[in-house]
A and B are shown apart, each in its own frame.
Chain A
Amino acid sequence: MKFGILVNEGPFTHQASDSAYHFTKAALEKGHEIVRVFFYHDGVNNANKLSEPQSDDRNLVGMWSALAEEHGVELIVCVAAALRRGIKDELLAAGFTISGLGQLVEAGIIGDRLITFGD
């Protein structure tokens, strides 16, 4: 199956990003296709390479980057939501790209399912 993933919360405050990450990883391991992961609202904070959690905690930003590298998953950050929150190209962790909301709509169109992870 082809899944589009929408992440609406930032890492840490809400579990939504963790759940989205685990779902995406599990889907890929089961042989499903991830059309793309789209980050909206505070979800854009998942792309902030300056994020530096304590060493005994998970590092979600790094986990997304690793997933992109291993599986070639597209990680798209909404430009309007990102700019409003100070997330710019120079702040993006590896694997993330800034683009428009059209990428979310397209994920809904070409995916068999669009799964939202939010509050």
Chain B
Amino acid sequence: MDDFEDDEFDGPVKKFLFLNRKAPYGTIYALEGLEVVLITAAFDQDVSMVFADDGVFQIKKDQETSGINMKNFSPTYRALEGYEVEKVYAEKESLEARGLSEDDLVIPVEVLSAAELAELMDTQDVIVSF
């Protein structure tokens, strides 16, 4: 690919926050967005991941996608820990509006309110929304 795919990258470290707002299927944003998160982590950056709005469905347990002939990529989120992406958040209001709780999710998350997420975003260097 290029020189920067190397795990040995030893440049500056910035705080990257990835805001996932879209449902996992219906559009490609969630799937291609996850690729960016994994590459950013491979660059040893300080990565946070936020699930809000329909984005909380990305990490819902028991996804069954055979009927729409799409690959169920939700197991990939479990790989985040292996990339040392440990700052994973879900928005409280989004979970509640969709009748979801932490027990419904494939990975452990810290649940934060919209106001708390705003404070978290204030501390970041780069925010990318997918």
Binding site for B on A (CB under 8 A): 6, 8, 40-41, 79-81, 99-106, 108-110, 114, 116, 118
Instruction: Select which of A6, A100, A114 is within 8 A of B1 by beta carbon.
Output: A100
Cα A81 to Cα B125 with chains together (Å): 25
How many B residues are at the interface, by size bracket?
A: 20 to 34
Cα A40 to Cα B12 with chains together (Å): 24
Within 8 A of A (CB), among B17-53: 28-29, 32, 35-36, 39-40, 43, 45
A109-B29 in contact given A101-B35, A103-B4, A116-B128 (Cβ < 8 Å):
no
Query: Which residues does chain A contribute within 8 Å of B11, judged by CB atoms?
Result: 106, 109-110
Instruction: Select which of A6, A80, A102, A106 is within 8 A of B128 by beta carbon.
Output: A6
Cα A36 to Cα B40 with chains together (Å): 17
Shortest beta-carbon distance, B105 to chain A, in Å? 25
Query: Which residues does chain B contribute within 8 Å of A116, judged by CB atoms?
Result: 128-129
Within 8 A of A (CB), among B76-101: none
Contact B1 A109, beta carbon cutoff 8 Å: no
Cα A99 to Cα B11 with chains together (Å): 20
Contact A104 B36, beta carbon cutoff 8 Å: yes
Instruction: Select which of B16, B43, B129 is within 8 A of A102 by beta carbon.
Output: B43
- Nearest chain A residue, comparing its CB with the CB of B41: A105
Contact B4 A106, beta carbon cutoff 8 Å: yes
| B61 CB within 8 Å of chain A | no
Number of A-B contacts (CB under 8 A): 62
Q: Is the interface of B mostly helix, strand, loop or mixed?
A: mixed
- Nearest chain B residue, comparing its CB with the CB of A85: B28
Q: Is the interface of A mostly helix, strand, loop or mixed?
A: helix
Query: Which residues does chain A contribute within 8 Å of B45, judged by CB atoms?
Result: 105, 108-109
A41-B128 in contact given A101-B39, A108-B16 (Cβ < 8 Å):
no
Shortest beta-carbon distance, B72 to chain A, in Å? 18
Query: Which residues does chain A contribute within 8 Å of B129, judged by CB atoms?
Result: 116, 118
A40-B5 in contact given A6-B128, A105-B39 (Cβ < 8 Å):
no
Query: Which residues does chain B contribute within 8 Å of A41, judged by CB atoms?
Result: 28-29, 32
- Nearest chain B residue, comparing its CB with the CB of A79: B1
- Nearest chain A residue, comparing its CB with the CB of B32: A41
Q: Which 9 A-B pairs have the closest CB atoms?
A: A100-B1, A102-B4, A108-B126, A101-B39, A100-B2, A105-B40, A114-B126, A105-B43, A99-B2
